[in-house]
Structure 1
Amino acid sequence: MSDSSTTTARPRPPVGGGGFGRGPMGGAGMPAEKSMNFGPSARRLARRMNPDRPKLLAVIGLAVISVVFSVVGPKILGYATDLIFTGVIGKQLPAGTSTQQAIEAARASGNDNFADLLAGMDVVPGQGIDFGALGTVLLWVLALYVASSVFAWYQGYLLNDVVQRTVYRLREEVEEKLNRLPLRFFDGQPRGELLSRVTNDIDNVSQTLQQTMSQLLNSLLLVIGVLAMMFVISPLLALIALVTIPLTMVATGMIAKRSQRHFVAQWKHTGTLNAHIEEAFTGHELVKVFGRRPEVEEVFRERNEELFKASFGAQFISGIIMPMMMFIGNLNYVAIAVVGGLRVATGAMSLGDVQAFIQYSRQFTQPLTQVASMANLLQSGVASAERVFELLDAAEQEPDPADPVVPTARRGRVEFEHVSFSYDPEQPLIEDLSLVADPGHTVAIVGPTGAGKTTLVNLVMRFYELNSGRITLDGIDITAMRRDDLRSHIGMVLQDTWLFGGTIRENIAYGNPRATEEQILAAARATFVDRFVRTLPDGYDTVIDEEGSNVSAGEKQLLTIARAFLADPSLLILDEATSSVDTRTEVLVQHAMAALRSDRTSFVIAHRLSTIRDADLILVMEEGSIVEHGTHDELLATRGAYHRLYSAQFSGAVIEDDETTAEGVPTPVSP
């Protein structure tokens, strides 16, 4: 075994984008938010529905049929109005006369307006309302509206299926992306911010697609259909109605442009606030112990105020669109009513056509108003989609080799060959490190905080990629193996315990889902979990909550050790695995660890040197380099760095100054 040069930097996790605190009072910073590019993001979101293109085509077809039936309705209903109006006028005219005679009589009496009105009508003097024809027309209108509703319902059903499948695939893709991202990415992201993108933003995308897709499609088709019918009835009135389109587009564009940045800021501040809440409530005990609640509440108020201002600005500015559209629509309605009334009076149009056109004018402005009212929702959804796309576009870890080497032997021999690594290129950490861990040996790694102990085992797990050199497991370069194959050989017990919400049995079986009940119980007995589980009312069926608050810290640590025991790895990594257990339990766990470490290579990171006295090899690390190596007795005899650490723990506090003992060891000072 050899070791090489040292470094002056201590290991620091990389920070990507913005900084964030590690403790309850740490700042939950955000990566710099790019200005939203609405068009490309909206098109990218729309392309995600391509796998359901046949259903989308069916949705469009159903929407066309529904809108056609809906658009034809007012025109036919205008015939009913004409039947009623013609019957009322015909009843007032003398029976037995012709329509031409009635017109001439009206002109002779000086009533030219009434004569013009009669000239534009198909009236029969003396005949009242034809209720048979009126009933037939109304039945046709009813049938058209019922059919339009049925097609619209089925269109909504299919569109709902398309939207939910799209969001389902998006969630799956995000989940798979998270599994492909390197640990470096998570080191630079506040958990609350990341969770906000995965949950809040995806839910907002789902809501936006659900509420806007159908309305946008129907509104577009309705505008086209209504506009065609208006030109059929009266080109002049249609041109008057068209004046509202450029006014609407200009006004909507100006308002949307101003509200766009507010929506981006709204979701940015939502993620920031979530990050702060997640951080503060995860460490709420420390917040209370150190009396920092006022500061936490102040940070919350500040970020909540920022979110309020951004949300208020976004909703208020975009909310102006709706009343503005209603105002333009009312102006259009008044103009059509006045011009249409004059044309009826002159006989240029029938009353039924004017009535139908007024209905069409309402239908024409209604979809424009709906689109305007959806502008804020659409902008909000696209802003959330862009945040999700930023996550999907993040740089991934190096892919597994196309032709991976599958290890056949499980001996556990680990070799570092001239390994160099740093979190920050400007701050070297581990340089030209070489060591060998033989099968079945226990390698203990000790050293001051920040020396690079945990970094060393993270490199073995391939959580980070090397700058240079290589690491082999049983003679195979770990980069030539699939990560799953590599990690299936490794069991890991961390200082920070992790248990999920489930039974004790399920938490132990997490190490080997195929384990039998007998194997689970054997692992529990070997790691002394069985001793405290038997005292619980529900035994192994005791449900552990998400925080693990119904078991002690030491019991949680024992459960994680039992989990590793059940996995039966060829390489075992223990990162301060006994730090949370009491002294008496530690003795029992040491015996369990001895059984667990037999016939397998073990890397043990330890601060309490009493736990690694029997290690086959002890590595002493300082600033990323191995400064000493040997057995416990050998290292004590050299009276070097390990002796100083040992003396500090067992002889009292050590104060280093310019004067040392003759052996070069700082003078121990009793407390």
Structure 2
Amino acid sequence: MGQQGSNRQAPPNFRGPRHHFGPKRKAKNQKETILRIWNQLSKHRLKLWIVLVFVFVSTVLGLLGPYYLGVTIDSYILKKDVPGSIQMAVLLAAIYLAGSLFTWLQQDIMVRVSLTTIRTIREELFAKLQQLSLRFFDTRSQGDLMSRVTNDIDNLNNALSQSLVQIFSSVLTIAGVTIAMLSLNWMMAMVSFLIIPVMLFVSRKIIAVSSQNFAKRQADLGQLNGYIEEAISGKEVITLYGQEKKTIQEFHEINEELRKSAMLAETFSGFLGPVNNFINNLGFGLIIATGAILTLNDMASIGVIAAFVTYSKLFFRPINQLTNLWNTIQSAIAGAERVFEVMDEVPDLQDSPNAAPVVSFEGDIEFRNVSFGYEKDHQILKNISLKASPGETIALVGPTGSGKTTIINLLSRFYDRSSGELFIDDKPIEAYKMADLRKRIGIVLQETYLFSGTLMENIRYGRLDATDEEVIEAAKIAAAHQFIKHLPERYETKITSGGTNLSQGQRQLLAIARAILADSDILILDEATSSIDTRTEIAIQEGLKNLTKGKTTFVIAHRLKTIEKADRIYVIDHGQIRESGTHDELLASEGFYYQLYTQQFKQTV
């Protein structure tokens, strides 16, 4: 789908050059991304406060366990107090059971908050994609955008549902254990704290490297998804030209790039666990050695040492969890930034503050010295001026790439012109709300698109409140009823996404029926019958006459025989109007149109 020649056309479903996925980059602003995630979560303040309370209670219960364990050893076990030991065992069991219950409750609530937040973000992202103009999609891969809606948001969901509670719990646990250790024996506590700077220094170095690789992994994943999407949708072309080996090789290269970035990310982040375990074991050794020395000098008891060993595990465990969670957190931040990047896109087409709703159009259309280019330094249309009166049929003809479809894109306001003026019913096109404008313009494209569902549903897409009888009548006018009535399930026949289980001609007939049902004031036929056989085309011409009656109609046609009765024909070449007039006038002038017409006539003879 790359650019061909000097006059590139960008139809409404244009997706940009093949395999263009944009630069790979690391997260630009992690703090801002985290703040935006928190702003989304803050919409559930009450539940978050409940989670915090449960985290606090479970953390306190977790701290009480080692304390009473030390008390049990010193006051009951060493004194051989069996009844007291049993009572303390029951107390410890109750503490740990209650702690487990509150841990489950906090996780359950947090999962619900996370899923609700993710649902909101996904809905906002999808709504933003619907608001963005076609120019946004021209240079972006569909697969990459799908990756943002699915993979990136799923990574964020994993982080919110699993990591957030653990972060709260870890911070509270570290604070509580610090206080408990200092209150039991400040000298052993200070020995325990000596390990922290070493652990933080090593973790920070590893995280700094792995975070870059996690961002690159997300970008590579989006690139891979984009390639898979193109390979599947373009499988027919790949097979036709025998490019399977080349496609497999390209996939291998992109897949290998993802493997490398994922391997680097996982390898560097994987160092965290073993390194921290080594530092933890080193810390345990120092604590036990210090405790032994203090015990020999009557400065600590066995129960205190036992409590300290348990507390030290509680102390180092959350630090290990935080560092190990960094894998998930980094993936989530990288994915969230890619999501917010799309959500921050400002549509280049927006309704003006005074835009008026549209009930109907008379159909008076005028282009005055209109110029336009999909790229700033390359103009497709150059000072185009044309006029269509209400009810007229205007034909646009010319070589491929001359700018015919671009004129239609501007009339539908898929893009805004670079210069000049465009009027509908003597008002600038910007004076109308875009949604209403497009509702009053019916378009039948050369490459139509059908959605998964029934034939009835696809035709009704033109007007959702239409009855079954109106849908069937539109299909009859469009000559689509002729093939539908022979299908086993008729109008309830299921079609796949894109309508791939129908022929191109059948898809075009359904698109025409959809436009007939919409009953718009302005009609655009962009090679609407190009994939229909001559016999069916003759049958549908009567239907098109009924469809275009009283409507301003623009017809783009390569088969010039189909537009002989047009009220005015504009001949476009290299973005300029070469000549205009009726069919007879243009033939009489023996200009560019005459050459095109005679060439086609000779080819068909």
1:441 and 2:392 matched: yes
Q: Distance in 2 between matches of 1:365 and 1:560?
A: 65
Spell out the pairing of 1:23-172 with structure 2 (5 A cutoff). 26=18, 28-37=19-28, 38-87=30-79, 129-172=80-123
Query: Equivalent residue of 1:651, what SS?
Result: helix
1:66-85 CA deviation, whole Å, 9 max, x = no partner? 10111111101211112344
1:588 and 2:539 matched: yes
Q: Distance in 1 between matches of 2:322 and 2:44?
A: 24
- For residue 441 of structure 2, the aligned residue among 487, 490, 498 is 490
Q: Which moved more, 1:466-475 or 1:578-587?
A: 466-475
Count of matched residue pairs: 597
Spell out the pairing of 1:269-284 with structure 2 (5 A cutoff). 269-284=220-235
Q: Is the 8 A contact 2:564 2:583 kept in 1?
A: yes
Q: Distance in 2 between matches of 1:268 and 1:646?
A: 50
Q: Residue 10 of structure 1 corresponds to which residue in structure 2?
A: 7
Deviation at 1:350, TM superposition (A): 2.1
Spell out the pairing of 1:606-645 with structure 2 (5 A cutoff). 606-645=557-596
Q: Is the 8 A contact 2:155 2:328 kept in 1?
A: no
1:334 and 2:325 matched: no
Deviation at 1:307, TM superposition (A): 0.8
Q: Distance in 2 between matches of 1:47 and 1:249?
A: 28
Q: Which moved more, 1:286-295 or 1:404-413?
A: 404-413
Q: Is the 8 A contact 2:358 2:433 kept in 1?
A: no
Q: Residue 295 of structure 1 corresponds to which residue in structure 2?
A: 246
Q: Which moved more, 1:39-48 or 1:412-421?
A: 39-48
Deviation at 1:368, TM superposition (A): 0.9
Q: Residue 102 of structure 1 corresponds to which residue in structure 2?
A: none
Q: Distance in 2 between matches of 1:542 and 1:251?
A: 63
Q: Residue 116 of structure 1 corresponds to which residue in structure 2?
A: none
1:351-402 CA deviation, whole Å, 9 max, x = no partner? 2221111100011111111111111121111111121122222232232122
1:243 and 2:194 matched: yes
Deviation at 1:628, TM superposition (A): 1.2
Q: Distance in 1 between matches of 2:360 and 2:38?
A: 49
1:263 and 2:214 matched: yes
Q: Residue 662 of structure 1 corresponds to which residue in structure 2?
A: none
Q: Residue 96 of structure 1 corresponds to which residue in structure 2?
A: none
Question: TM-score if structure 1 supplies the norm length?
Answer: 0.86
Deviation at 1:214, TM superposition (A): 1.5
Q: Which moved more, 1:624-633 or 1:546-555?
A: 546-555
Q: Is the 8 A contact 1:11 1:455 kept in 2?
A: no
Q: Aligned AA for 1:525?
A: K
Q: Is the 8 A contact 2:370 2:381 kept in 1?
A: yes
- For residue 299 of structure 2, the aligned residue among 339, 344, 348 is 348
Q: Is the 8 A contact 1:493 1:577 kept in 2?
A: yes
5+ residue gaps, structure 1, are 1-7, 88-128, 654-669
Q: Aligned AA for 2:499?
A: G
Q: Residue 352 of structure 2 corresponds to which residue in structure 1?
A: 401
Deviation at 1:409, TM superposition (A): 4.1
- For residue 501 of structure 1, the aligned residue among 452, 462, 466 is 452
1:510-539 CA deviation, whole Å, 9 max, x = no partner? 001100111111101111111111111111
Change (3 A) 1:606 1:12: closer
Q: Distance in 2 between matches of 1:590 and 1:251?
A: 76
Q: Aligned AA for 1:329?
A: N
1:324 and 2:296 matched: no
Kindly, what percent of the aligned residue pairs are identical? 39
Query: Equivalent residue of 1:329, what SS?
Result: helix
Q: Is the 8 A contact 1:495 1:575 kept in 2?
A: yes
Q: Which moved more, 1:539-548 or 1:346-355?
A: 346-355
RMSD between superposed Cα atoms in Å: 1.8
Q: Distance in 1 between matches of 2:247 and 2:91?
A: 67
Deviation at 1:9, TM superposition (A): 5.2
1:280-312 CA deviation, whole Å, 9 max, x = no partner? 221111111111111111111111111111111
Q: Aligned AA for 2:70?
A: G
Question: TM-score if structure 2 supplies the norm length?
Answer: 0.95
1:220 and 2:212 matched: no
Q: Aligned AA for 2:7?
A: R
Q: Aligned AA for 1:353?
A: V
Q: Is the 8 A contact 2:34 2:333 kept in 1?
A: yes
Q: Aligned AA for 1:259?
A: S
Deviation at 1:62, TM superposition (A): 1.6
Q: Is the 8 A contact 2:443 2:515 kept in 1?
A: yes
Q: Distance in 1 between matches of 2:73 and 2:156?
A: 45
Q: Is the 8 A contact 1:419 1:468 kept in 2?
A: yes
1:321-374 CA deviation, whole Å, 9 max, x = no partner? 011010100111111112213323333222222111110001111111111111
Q: Residue 515 of structure 2 corresponds to which residue in structure 1?
A: 564
Q: Distance in 1 between matches of 2:357 and 2:36?
A: 39
- For residue 369 of structure 2, the aligned residue among 418, 433, 436 is 418
Q: Residue 648 of structure 1 corresponds to which residue in structure 2?
A: 599
Deviation at 1:467, TM superposition (A): 1.6
Q: Aligned AA for 2:286?
A: A
Query: Equivalent residue of 2:34, what SS?
Result: helix
Query: Equivalent residue of 1:420, what SS?
Result: strand
Deviation at 1:578, TM superposition (A): 0.6
Q: Distance in 2 between matches of 1:221 and 1:12?
A: 60
Change (3 A) 1:13 1:567: closer
Q: Aligned AA for 2:349?
A: E
Q: Distance in 1 between matches of 2:369 and 2:291?
A: 90
Q: Distance in 2 between matches of 1:403 and 1:529?
A: 41
Q: Distance in 2 between matches of 1:409 and 1:195?
A: 36
Query: Equivalent residue of 1:349, what SS?
Result: coil
1:147-194 CA deviation, whole Å, 9 max, x = no partner? 222222221122112211221121112112112222111011121122
Q: Aligned AA for 1:149?
A: S
Q: Aligned AA for 1:10?
A: N
Q: Is the 8 A contact 1:407 1:476 kept in 2?
A: no
Q: Distance in 1 between matches of 2:584 and 2:193?
A: 94
5+ residue gaps, structure 2, are none
Deviation at 1:569, TM superposition (A): 0.3
- Structure with greater Cα Rg: 1
